Amino acid sequence: MPEGPEIRRAADRLVTAIQGKPLTDVWFALPPLQPYAADLVGQHVVAIETRGKALLTHFSGGLTLYSHNQLYGVWRVVAAGETPETKRVLRVRLQTADKAILLYSASDIALLTAEQLAQHPFLQRVGPDVLDMTLTAEQVKARLLSARFRRRQFSGLLLDQAFLAGLGNYLRVEILWHTALAPQHNAAQLNDTQVEALSHALLDIPRLSYQTRGTADENRHHGALFRFKVFHRAGEPCERCGGIIEKTTLSSRPFYWCPGCQR
């Protein structure tokens, strides 16, 4: 499943394609949404934002299209009128004079008023988004040490969207390696230095992934690039301590770690 950085980059592509341009055609596969299609023609998309792994497409008339890709959903940008060959099931088509954005295979889709959006069960349940640049490490630290989360094992906590939205399996793996923490621990067991390091890593690693993952190293003269240190590297040496990276299963997801330095 795509994690927060991938969802945000997908939203960026959609924004570039259609934001601010009048919609010339709107189509929905789901019958409850179909009555809204005609009214949306002539409106424009004013913004596309993400809340963790959910994507919110805001229309100029006041409605918002809520979609969650879950396991199989994917957005694509195509030329206006283009119908790609695919085995995926088309759910949504939003078209302007030159571009169209298509949502395939997702099933969790709704058109909501502002009031309905504020009361949406998923959006009410998720925690702060790690890619919200107003979220600070101090606020993350407070959540880590709160009564609700401080005794939760990191293996499960870092997958729980109620803790922080946008984290997922590869981010869980990389954050714990960067902070040299074992997955069975919890925040209540850490010292102040470890809590501080984890609070920063919970923001820094996802934001670095969003900004640079997939960027080539060549011709980049400043800043860091996101690359996997342990994820999908079982059997390889840890670049920090030389130990051998291992793979196991935690919270029903594959987990990679270095027993030599994640203690």
Catalytic residue among 2, 93, 152, 246: 2
Active site residue 218: no
Strand order in the sheet with 99-104: 25-28, 90-95, 99-104, 74-79
Assess whether 206 carries a catalytic annotation. Answer: no
**Catalytic residue (one of 3, 5, 76, 229):** 3
DSSP character string of 191-212: -HHHHHHHHHHHHHHHHHHHHH
Task: State the DSSP H helix or E strand holding residue 77, giving kind and residue range, or none if neither.
Answer: strand 74-79
Instruction: Say whether 239 is catalytic.
Output: no
* Nearest-angstrom CA–CA distance, 96 and 42: 9
Q: Is 6 a catalytic residue?
A: no
β-bridge mates for residue 165, sequence order = 129
Distances (CA, A) of 217 to 152, 212, 225, 226, 258: 37, 10, 7, 10, 25
**H and E: helices and strands count for the chain:** 8, 10
Helices (H), the chain: 4-18, 37-40, 114-118, 121-125, 137-144, 154-157, 169-178, 192-212
Annotated active-site residue in 53, 91, 141, 229: 53
The CA-atom distances, in angstroms, between 208 and each of 110, 130, 185, 195 are: 31, 11, 25, 20
Residue of 99, 152, 247, 253 with catalytic role: 253
Task: Show which residues are catalytic.
Answer: 2-3, 53, 253
